[in-house]
Amino acid sequence: MKWILMTAIMLSLFACNSSQTHDTGDSTNAISLNDGEKWVVNAEMRPFIQKGNDILTDYIDANGTDYQTLAKDLKAQNTELIKSCTMKGKSHDELHKWLHPHMDMISKLAKAENLAAANRQIEQLKASFNTYHTYFK
């Protein structure tokens, strides 16, 4: 499973068409607003974020229990998100402050040993999407 996470990180580093340093998701690098406004995410990327959010919401609403499939489906959306990345500059950097921890949460969901552990990760993912909607449009 470690190679999956490493592959995803490598894809994100190379697929974003940017030579900028990428944030590692360290909590000391909190996401900031763009002069009090939400950052704009490019149109090519937004559908994959929204689809991931919809997948999670549908799972929660249905009281889902197949968290392995949920993790796989969320990872697939992130893979497409990373492939579609053409953002540059500060908005790109801020998005990565959200994306890297979000990817880690999905990885932890995939590794959950039971439904209770998975549900804790699902709550974190729900909060992560709320964070996304707070800082990005």
DSSP string, 43-110: TTTHHHHHHHHHHHHHHHHTT---HHHHHHHHHHHHHHHHHT----HHHHHHHHHHHHHHHHHHHHHH
Q: Is residue 18 part of a domain?
A: no
**Cross-strand partners of 39:** 136
Residue 82's domain comprises 65-137
pLDDT tops 50 at residue 120 = yes
Bridge partners for 37 per DSSP: 34
State how many domains the chain has. Answer: 1
pLDDT bin (cut points 50, 70, 90) of residue 42 is very high
21 pLDDT band (50/70/90 cuts)?
A: very low
The per-residue pLDDT for range 59-87, each reduced to its tens digit, is 999 999 999 999 999 999 999 999 998 89
107/5 Cα distance (integer angstroms): 7
* Residue 78 belongs to some domain of the structure: yes
How many residues make up the chain in this entry?
A: 137
Q: Which of these, 87, 101, 106, lies nearest to 31 by C-alpha position?
A: 101
Is residue 69 included in any domain, yes or no? yes
Mean pLDDT within 117-135:
97
Q: Is residue 59 part of a domain?
A: no
What's the average model confidence in pLDDT over 98-117? 97
Q: How many Å is the Cα radius of gyration of the chain?
A: 14
The yes-or-no verdict on residue 3 having pLDDT over 60 is no
CB 83 within 8 A of CB 15: yes
Percent of the chain with pLDDT over 70: 80
Does residue 48 surpass a pLDDT of 60? yes
Residue 134 lies in a domain: yes
Angle CA(11)–CA(133)–CA(54) in degrees, nearest 5?
Answer: 75
